[in-house]
Amino acid sequence: MMSHSTGSIGNAVYYTMHGKNFVRSKPSRYTDRKSEAQLVQRARMKAVTGFLTPFKDLVRITWAGEATGRAPYHAAKSDLMRNALQGDYPDVQINKEAALLSKGPLPLPGTITVTVQDGGLLAEWTDSSEVAAKQGKDTLVLIALDSQNGISEYKFTGVPRSVKSYLWKPSIDISQNNKPDVWVAFRSNNETEMSNSVYVHVI
């Protein structure tokens, strides 16, 4: 007949089986208790990753010139962590106006407006005469995010800065009752440099 009895002293467990004595260590118990600092960092990382995920393919292009020694995605992520978070734990959020979806040395227009028109987005901008003369061949980049559905869309339009307006009709639903978040940027004609993106409130 099989017999099995146990007892313990300290971290050792003693037991008898089949008339023989055995000893083993107590199993370790692990907990996932995080410090407050770790929980804050986890919330910050979750907010940044959640925001950046729909733009993952975009930032590989628009952050390429600013990502020395690391992947463009990680460069964009680091910038968001440093500059675009707001709120206190656990309500940590992205400040979209501070979020850069592109980064580079090209100048932004002096004024930019985006309005809902004909089911699309009409972007209009003005430049100083100096910028217009030097950067007139830069091309427009438009980025939109349907926050309710987490769907992003972007377009390298090929439209020169000198044209000063462009009507974009993305596939996401756009109306006065469903205005997306929009960022505007410019890319050099030879596709080697970007401007910083700028968040524009849709009218």
DSSP letter for each residue of 37-67: HHHHHHHHHHHHHHHHGGGHHHHHHHTGGG-
Can you say whether the dihedral through the CA atoms of 187, 54, 122, 95 is positive or negative? negative
Q: Which two tokens stand for residue 23?
A: 């000893």
- The reported pLDDT for the residue numbered 160 is 98
pTM of the model: 0.82
Q: What is the dihedral of CA 65, 171, 95, 70, to 10 degrees?
A: -20
Cα–Cα distances in Å, from 69 out to 62, 103, 194?
16, 16, 18
pLDDT of 2 strictly over 80 = no
pLDDT digit string, tens, across residues 154-187: 999 999 999 999 999 999 999 999 999 999 999 9
| Domains defined along the chain, listed by start | 1-29 (no CATH), 31-101 (no CATH), 104-203 (2.60.40.10)
Please give the mean pLDDT across all residues of the chain: 91
Give bridge partners of residue 86 from the DSSP assignment. Answer: 93
Residue 187 sits at the vertex; the CA angle it makes with 167 and 176, to the nearest 5 degrees, is 30
Check: CB of residue 12 under 8 Å from CB of residue 23: yes
pLDDT by residue (tens digit) across 46-103? 999 999 999 999 999 999 999 889 999 999 999 999 999 999 999 999 999 999 999 9
DSSP letter for 195, please: B
pLDDT at 86: 97
